[in-house]
Each structure stands twice: as structure tokens, then as C-alpha cells.
Structure 1
Amino acid sequence: MTTPRITLFIIAHNEEAKLAKCILSTKGLVHEVIVVNDRSQDRTEEIARELGAIVFSRDFDGFANQKNFALSKVNGDWALNLDADETLSPALKEEIRRTVQNTPHSGFNIPFSNYFLGKKMNHSGLNKEHHLRLVRTKNAHYVGGLVHEGLEVKGTVGNLKNAINHYSYDSIEIYFRKLNHYTSLAAEQMYKNGRKFSLPFVLITIPFEFLKRYLLKLGVLDGIRGFIWASFSAFYVFVKYMKLWFLWEKRSV
């Protein structure tokens, strides 16, 4: 039986601090690494090439488009997508290696272990997260706009047991840099979709987001990080809708 080939693909922008750890965590599992670089100003491209990755430069025009471009460059039978701040554990690597040898599925959902400010979050709505990240290359396609891309496959989808480690926010400064970027994309997408700004809706949604994360999702059990995450999540909603308001405001001027 021929061993299926697995390609890792990553879309990246200024990820010199984390890219090497991500790629090295897949060593021995993947046969090829594809990095689509969005005009990084740091050593992202250099590090990727040093580790043997095939690098493509492409201006970012939405997560779905960027990942579809990356997927089109994959030569392996299977495509594994990771972000630069994610890694595979040895147990997950072995599970993937065994699973792709003989499976009827076209893709696999993988659970996530999310880390916030250096510590794993066991609650706060982050403990049951999973995403479709491993797919048969020819059966997969991304859909969506600037944000919230979805990966669709032709065929059935299975579930893996071991988790991807996600080190998304190592500091508060990093969180707010990402918040500014993602809220702008989200507001622009809502604006393009014709979504109107509603102050009563925002006034209800912001406290609900905090209470959902901190109480309903048991963020209180994550200690101070749970409180910070719930507060930041509510602030994310506030900033996103204020940016939407400003887009409509500029149009009316």
C-alpha cells in the first residue's frame, strides 16, 4: 500500500516569532510545506525557506481566497492546515499518520487546546473548540468572505481525538494588535453584506457576551484569565460594531 502524502499549508503575515515552531512540530509527518506569505516585513519568508518550505507571495484579500490559493499549490494526497501560532503534539502526529493510511473519510475535525497569556484555557468557551483542518486535497474548497472562512469537503468527515495546540495570545499587546485587524475585517464584511448598525442591539450584545463567556461558559473557573478573556470578548464586539457604525457614517457624509 502506498503511503499517503501529507502537505502542510500555512498563510502567514509577520510570523517570524512562531513560524519555525509550527513547521518543526510537523516534522516526520508531512512531505511538503507550503507557506503563502502576505508581504511580511519581518523574517517570515526567510525562516520558511530555511526550513524547506515552498513560499508564495500574495496580497491578503480574505481568508477563504488566501487559503484556496494555498490549497491549489498542495501536491499531497492530504492537506493539513495550521496557523503559524499552532503546533501538533507527538500524539496528534501519530494519530494522523495512522488515520490517513486507511480511512473512508474525506476530512477530519481536530480539537483545539487554546492557550491565553501563557496558560491553557479549560473553560470560557475555548475548551470544546474544533475545526476541520485535515482533508483530502482534491475534495476540499474554502468558502466565505474576508473573515469566518469555512472548509467544505465532498464526502464524510471524521473526528480525531488529540488536539492542536493554539498559542494565540502570548501578551495583551498581541491581543489588541490582532483585535484591531480582525474587527476591521469583520466590520468591512458586515458593511459589504448590508448589515446596519443598531445601538439597542449593541447595548444588549456587549453585556451578554461577557456574561456568556464568564458565567455560562464557566470562564470564572479559568481565574483572572477567564475574566480578562470575557472582558476582551465583550470589547471585541463593541469595537467591531463601532467600526461598522463609522463605515456607514462616512457614507452619509
Structure 2
Amino acid sequence: MEYRFLIYISYSYSIPVGNPLEVAIFNRGYEVQWFADEQDGKENLKSKSNVLTEIKDVIDYKPHIVLTATNMVPDFISGLKVQIFHGFLAQKRPSKKHIFSEFRIRGFFDLYCTQGPSTTSIFKQLEKKHKHFKVMETGWSKVDPLFPIEAKAEGTLPVIMIASTFTERLSLAYNDLVYDEIKRLSTTGNYMFKMVLHPKIPNHIVEKWKGLTNEFFTFYDTTDLIPIFKQSDLLFADTTSAIQEFLLQKKPVVTFNHTFPHNYLIHVTETSKIESSFNQALTPSKELINNINAFILELHPYFDGKSSQRILDSCIYYLHEDKSGLRKKPLNLIRKFKIRKRLKHFSFTSNSQAFTLEKPQKSSFESIPLSQDRLKLTAIIPTGNEIHNIEAVLASVDFADEVMVVDSLSTDGTYDKALEIADTVLRREYQYSASQKNWAIPQAQHEWILLVDADERVTPELRAEILQILNNPPKDNTVAYWIGRNNHFMGEPVKHSGWKNDKVIRLFKRDACRYQDKNVHAEIIADGTVGHLKNKFYHDTYISLDKYLVKMNRYAWWQAKDYDKKTGRLTGYHFIIKPFWGFFKHYIIQGGFRDGVVGLTIGYIQGYTVFMRYAKLWLLRKKRS
């Protein structure tokens, strides 16, 4: 199905929130436009070609989904109104009452895509209270480019980033003593400073700090902070929300006159102690690092750079969801007048019900009615530490009559989240994939099974095709179906590299199919005919390069066990020729070079995995595993 997205902002600092979403939308082949309701946002969107400049153009565009990184959004335009946030909660005060006041419900939104447990827990309480919106935890799109975290080259000067909030009472940028100390330190040659200031800080303050520019001090006039985050060893700040973003790298933050002594920060109240605090941060204690880790697991426990994709999955899922149980949004007359005044568009139209798209448009499966006597379906999702995937994959199989999660003793919260959503949750110690799946299949309630890995998504088109089969079951001996996969790696679609025609048997009859008893790459053995579906899974196996290599190492070990019986004496052929052939086949013969850096990476990893398979087989035979 073709979806129309609108990214709605006010100020330029929200553009980095929307950029990763724009990329994810384009990668899926959907349409996306931008709109800013303030002049600052309009000016900074001029470099983009997909921008609507007038509110009447937004109305005519008729978006299906409005991704909003500002506090208000027009109620008179179409689409599911989704709050994606323009910042983290700054946590400037400890009071619970104050925290709830920061989570202000303004009555415009149908869906809140929250950043992590610390925000989700409170929004879930507000969801129960107000009952006119839904809350889904997805992670925050703005920090997607922050991952994977890259190690800094050794032997370089420590880089200190300086950032400040715009409120004069809280901002270090207005403090003359801080200015004098940074000016002194920037001439010592001991540190490299990189500074940014909030766009709302007055120009005379900005020009004052720009005047410090020298070999060791650089001022950046930008709202895209992530490249500077990556280059920096520590952050010097006040109460700015950039603190939370920076901490996701597990790097220390020194704060000046912060309003609350959080244990994951190094606090300074006197300018004479700034330099010693910098040195303390550059050799952080284990206690500080542990405190940072504990904080960010509550703030944003997603380190895969895929929050944008989870947001899209959640939006598309909720766009089609029945919302008849929701209350109407509040009248909200004063705020509605303000947004009309800002946009100079005084419309009497007001969409008080959450927007729902009932049926796919431009799809070969226009409308799939569910007959009373259709075949029932169990969806099985194997998991193992998949907290970053669990909600989105379960949302994509919500049409199944039974949703069963088979969890391999996860320790990251996957099991608890599955208990909240799935119909059935089973736990079993992991041996290997085929063993886990063959154990789960007989426990399904229904005859037909759809097995979906946690890093896969059932697209609306595939869902419709599956429902069509359940409504009109095959009259021949078809007991299973091949399903293709649109593969992605490192955030990019893989069109070659041997993955182009990737397919798996995933829709099948419970009592007619079993997986081969193999450690790796086991496929279904079907007692009957196997058909083919036209539509494909969305599949993105990449979490981070480090974790992907760990996964490939694990596969190599399992393959070594499978290859032991059919491999003769190990020679240079196995350790040199076969790994080189693995790379050559994927990168040259199967066109991996056409996939750019992604194709080169896949080719290298394939060759590396072949080498590790035989290295581990050698160790296995030497009983050195």
C-alpha cells in the first residue's frame, strides 16, 4: 500500500528528528512531505525539495500519518496525528508532580511514540486517564544516526563539547565567569573545544562565544548535534536536553549549576573546579559509568539505530487499528484558536476522532472480509533478547487468532513485554533454531501457523494475502507457502549480494511440516505441496556490526557441528580457497558490488563466516572448543 506521511515541525531543531524518518519512509517507497508552522523552521527547510509551504497545500495533500515534532498540530488536517517529540525530558527537577506537568496532554494526538521506559510508564498512566490516544514505545528517531557507537582514535587531544539551554536563568552561556574560564582553557592546548548554542539564544551572546574561535575552540552554528557528539569525549552543559542524547554514548557529562544532583552527572557549581571536573570525566569511575548505564536503559534502551523503523511500523499498524473504543478528543477551544491564528487559517473543520484507514489503497488485495468459517491462524515468534523488536513484530501479526511468543530466557525485558501483548508466552532454554521451532509448533492451538522471526515484519500487503488464503483455503494438497523477504542491512535495502531472491517457508500446516534437524539454516520439510505468496516480509537483520559479527560467529560454530560428518581432512582449500570463494560469489557473481558499502560488508562477512566455520571445526576436532 502507498502511504502519505507528513513531518510537521515548528523550529529548526526538530529537523534532525525528522531526517531519519524521512530516509526510512523513502526506503519503503512511501511518500513524505515536510511542513513548518514557524518562520525558523520554514527557513531551514529551504534546502529540501519535498516541502509544503502553505497550510492549504497540507490540507490538499491529505496525509495518512502526521509525524509531529512540536507541541501542537492542526486538528483540521487529515491523518493519524503522531507525537514523535522534539527532545528528551530534561529532568531538571526531581518532583514527581513536576514530571507529570512536563508530560502535558494537549488533546491533539492519536498516538504517542515514546522514547523509553521512563517516558512510557507515565504516558501509559495518562493513556488510561484520558482514553483518547494510544502509547507505543519505539525509541527516538533523532538518535538513530548516533549508532553504532564508534571508538575514537587514540593519541588525540580530548574533545570537549559545550552545549547550553536557552533559558537565561539556567544557561551557562550567559555566565561571564564560565566564559572567562573556557577562554583560558582554550589557550592551554590541553583540550579541543566544540561549542553549539540553542537557536533561541540572543545573537549578542552567540557572537561573544564565537569570538573565542582559535586552533582549539570551534563554534558550530547547527542544530544537528550528533556528528559533534561522536567526535567528543565529554559534554560540558547546564540543563539542556542535549545531556540525555550525549549520555546514550556512555560518555560522561559535566554540568554547571544543574538544578538537581543526578548521580549519572558530574556536577560543578564553581568555575574554579571546571578543569578538575573535566579531568575527572576523562578518567571516569566505574560507579559513574554504572550510573550512566542504569539511566540510559530507562531513558532509551535502543542502540540499534532503528527507532525510525519502529515508529513507522507502529504508525502503520495503528492507522488500520479499530479505534472505536477511544473517547473523542477534548474540545480544546483556546489551543485550537491559537493554532488557527498561527497558521492564518480559520477552519470550522475539527477531527475529534482518531484517523483510521479502513482498507488498503492501490493494493491488489483491496478488501479482505473475514468469513465466519475461515481457517484459524497461530503466529509464532521466537525471541531471545529482542526488546528492540518485540512490540513492532507483535503489532505486525495482530490479525492472528493466537499470538505465541517462544522466548529463549531473555534478560532484557523481552519476556515481560511479551506477557503484556501476546496470547501465549512460552520459555525454553535455547539450543538451536530448528530445535526451538520444532518444540513450539505442536503447541499451537490452530492448524495453520505463521512463523515470524523478531527482525521480520508482516507488511499490510502480506497480511491481506495471508487472510485471503485463510478465507479461501487451498483445495489441493498445499500444506505450506514460500514467502520472500525484502532484506535490509545497515539501514539500506539489499538488492543483490545473494539476498535478492531470499525466501523462507513460514506459512504452513502444523501437523504436516517440521524443520530439518540442523543447527543452522534449517528449512521446513513439508509433507505435501508448497506454494508461493506474492508479497514479502520486511526483514532487517542488522542491529550493529559488533552484534552481527557475534551472530555470524555463533552460526559458524553451529555450522561446524553440521559440517563435521560431511567434511574430510581440513586443508588450505578450506581455510583459503573457500572463504575467498564465499566473498567472490556474493560480491562479484551475485552483484554485491552494486549494493555499495553494504554489499562489500556482506561479502566480507560471508567470507569471514566460511573461514570461521572451518576454524571452529578444527577446534572441535581438537576438542578445544
TM-score normalised by the chain length of structure 1: 0.93
Write out per-residue CA displacement over residues 77-103 of structure 1, whole angstroms, 9 at most, x where no aligned residue.
210011111101100000110022221
CA apart distance, 1:106: 1.1
Q: 1:179 aligns with which of 534, 541, 552?
A: 552
Give matches, 1:111-150, under 5 Å: 111-150=484-523
Moved more, 143-152 or 9-18: 143-152
1:59 is matched with 429
1:237 is matched with 610
Which is greater in Rg? 2
Moved more, 113-122 or 7-16: 7-16
Give matches, 1:83-232, under 5 Å: 83-102=453-472, 103-104=474-475, 105-191=478-564, 193=565, 195-196=567-568, 197-232=570-605
Ranges in structure 2 where 5+ consecutive residues have no aligned partner = 1-371
Q: What is the percent sequence identity of the aligned residues? A: 31
CA apart distance, 1:116: 0.4
2:379 is matched with 8
1:49 is matched with 419
CA apart distance, 1:132: 0.7
- 8 Å CA contact retained: 2:404, 2:422: no
1:183 counterpart SS class: helix
- 8 Å CA contact retained: 1:118, 1:170: no
CA apart distance, 1:13: 1.1
Distance 2:566 2:501 in 1: 32
1:250 counterpart SS class: coil
- 8 Å CA contact retained: 1:35, 1:70: no
CA apart distance, 1:56: 1.2
Higher strand content, 1 or 2: 1
1:214 counterpart SS class: helix
Distance 1:226 1:65 in 2: 31
2:48 is matched with none
Q: What is the aligned length?
A: 249
- 8 Å CA contact retained: 1:88, 1:164: yes
Amino acid at match of 1:49: L
Q: CA, structure 1 residues 24+43, in 2 after alignment: closer, same or farther (shift >3 Å)?
A: same
CA apart distance, 1:194: 5.9
2:541 counterpart SS class: strand
> With CA pairs under 8 Å and 6+ residues apart, which has the higher RCO, 1 or 2?
1
- 8 Å CA contact retained: 1:12, 1:36: yes
- 8 Å CA contact retained: 2:381, 2:452: yes
- 8 Å CA contact retained: 1:15, 1:44: yes
CA apart distance, 1:111: 0.6
- 8 Å CA contact retained: 2:376, 2:470: no
CA apart distance, 1:16: 1.0
CA apart distance, 1:200: 2.0
- 8 Å CA contact retained: 2:574, 2:611: no
Distance 2:543 2:498 in 1: 18
- Considering only aligned residues, what root-mean-square deviation do their CA atoms show, in Å? 1.5
- 8 Å CA contact retained: 2:575, 2:615: no
Amino acid at match of 1:129: D
- 8 Å CA contact retained: 2:574, 2:614: no
CA apart distance, 1:188: 2.6
Distance 1:198 1:18 in 2: 41
Distance 1:65 1:185 in 2: 12
- 8 Å CA contact retained: 1:110, 1:133: yes
Distance 1:91 1:206 in 2: 38
1:169 counterpart SS class: coil
Distance 1:22 1:101 in 2: 23
Distance 2:461 2:502 in 1: 18
Moved more, 61-70 or 221-230: 61-70
Write out per-residue CA displacement over residues 120-153 of structure 1, whole angstroms, 9 at most, x where no aligned residue.
1000000101111000222222222222222122
Distance 2:605 2:378 in 1: 35
CA apart distance, 1:63: 2.0
Distance 2:520 2:549 in 1: 17
TM-score normalised by the chain length of structure 2: 0.39
Amino acid at match of 1:202: F
1:19 is matched with 390
- 8 Å CA contact retained: 2:397, 2:403: no
Ranges in structure 1 where 5+ consecutive residues have no aligned partner = none
- 8 Å CA contact retained: 1:34, 1:73: no
1:204 counterpart SS class: helix
- 8 Å CA contact retained: 2:519, 2:562: yes
Write out per-residue CA displacement over residues 36-93 of structure 1, whole angstroms, 9 at most, x where no aligned residue.
1111111111111111231111112222221111101111121001111110110000
CA apart distance, 1:234: 0.5
- 8 Å CA contact retained: 2:513, 2:525: yes
Distance 1:170 1:142 in 2: 26
1:40 counterpart SS class: coil
2:27 is matched with none
